[in-house]
Amino acid sequence: MTRPIVGILCNRILVNDRYPVHEGGTMVSEAVAKVSGCMPILIPTDPEFTNVAEVLELCDGFLLPGGRPNVHPSEYGAEETPAHGTFDRGRDAISLPLIRACVERGQPFMGICRGFQEVNVAMGGSLHPEIRDLPGRRNHRMPTEGTLADGFTNRHTVSLTPGGRFARIFGADQVVTNSLHGQGVDIPGPRIVVDGRAEDGTVEAIYVRDAPGFTYSVQWHPEWQADQDAVSRPLFEAFGAAVKDWAMARNGMTQVA
């Protein structure tokens, strides 16, 4: 049986500071394939090559991953400053209308890190350019030294709404996660439900209110060892189930108990 297709939005980077590529992290594809049970495909995020209408028909669901470039502040009514870092305007041009279209269609997506921030911006929210500069906030960035595993080590607790959507997925009101981001949610969009926060108040888990489909998004990186982690695995399993349901409904199929 053909697996449902999950489109993974790419980031535009320069290899060796000279060769432009669209890239996607291997661990994201691995989590989609091994835990969600779907076929991962990379979507080049540039309106010269890709348009939202076509990818909506091509894919059954979408994974909005992290990435070093940030959402451009003009997308949420702010002025660009050095604190906002680097940008990927091609990804902005694809991801933001794609999110809004998925919300209205009920087509499932999951946002991770930058993708989490994109969901908030797409739904009318704004971002802090640098969380660690805010009073009382910790440094949520990846450590500059150590191995890759050190960088993805779980570093803080996320408190979830008791009995809320994320708590039901994880079977707990608190989970321990990694932390690898500089920016974060400032003002949640009007339809954004904040369902989890770190100890310092940083928003870590959201979904879109009254959306007919799966819109769960997290600020941390659940793709790291997703098949082994007690928090990551149920999240990717729930996402995969939603994508499969969408694919079956689109194909006029019903699930056999």
Active site residues: 113, 221, 223
In three-state secondary structure terms, 93 is helix
Taking CA 41 as the corner, what is the angle to CA 204 and CA 96, rounded to the nearest 5 degrees? 45
What is the Cα–Cα distance from 213 to 250, expressed in whole angstroms?
13
Q: What angle do CA 95, 55, 113 make, to 5 degrees?
A: 30
CA distance 31 to 231: 13
Tokens of 105: 């269609």
Is-contact 194 184, C-beta < 8 A?
A: no
Tell me the residue type at 176: V
Angular region, 119: left φ>0, alpha ψ -120 to 50, beta rest: alpha
- Cα(62)–Cα(131) distance, integer angstroms: 27
**Rounded to an integer, what distance in angstroms lies between the CA atom of residue 50 and that of residue 43?**
8
Q: Distance between CA atoms of 177 and 175, rounded to whole angstroms?
A: 6
What is the C-alpha to C-alpha distance for residues 207 and 218, in angstroms, rounded to an integer? 9
